């Protein structure tokens, strides 16, 4: 049985938020990362992020940042930015 990792659902210490402009890219990214065993949580963005044109995001543990960014780049899934929360 696969070990379940608890994913932070709210911003906090030790999390990152990756922003995307497209719901299609967000779904592709989430599917890819979860298949790789990297826990991510899909979030709908508003406020400042939405004003920048980003409507969707993925929240994950900061320690996974390098692996997540590399996986998205290798698979041609564009994202806007990654923020430490």
Q: Reduced to 3 states, what is the DSSP secondary structure of residue 26?
A: helix
Express each pLDDT in 31-80 by its tens digit: 999 999 999 999 988 877 777 777 899 999 999 999 999 999 999 999 99
Question: Is residue 5 situated within a structural domain?
Answer: no
Please state, in angstroms and as integers, the Cα–Cα distance from residue 25 to each residue in 14, 16, 67, 70, following that order.
24, 18, 17, 15
pTM of the model: 0.80
User: Has residue 37 been placed in a domain?
Assistant: yes
Q: Model confidence over 3-45: pLDDT tens digits? A: 344 455 555 569 999 999 899 999 999 999 999 999 999 998 8
31 located within any domain: yes
In a domain, 6, yes or no: no
Q: How many domains does the chain have?
A: 1
- What's the pLDDT at 26? 94
């Amino acid at each position: 049985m696969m070990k379940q990792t608890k994913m932070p659902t709210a911003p906090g210490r030790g999390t990152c938020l990756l922003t995307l402009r497209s719901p299609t890219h967000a779904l592709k990214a989430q599917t890819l990362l979860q298949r790789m065993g990297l826990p991510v949580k899909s979030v709908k963005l508003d406020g400042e992020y939405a004003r920048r044109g980003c409507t969707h995001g993925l929240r994950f543990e900061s320690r996974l940042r390098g692996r997540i960014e590399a996986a998205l780049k290798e698979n041609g899934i564009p994202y806007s930015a990654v923020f430490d929360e």
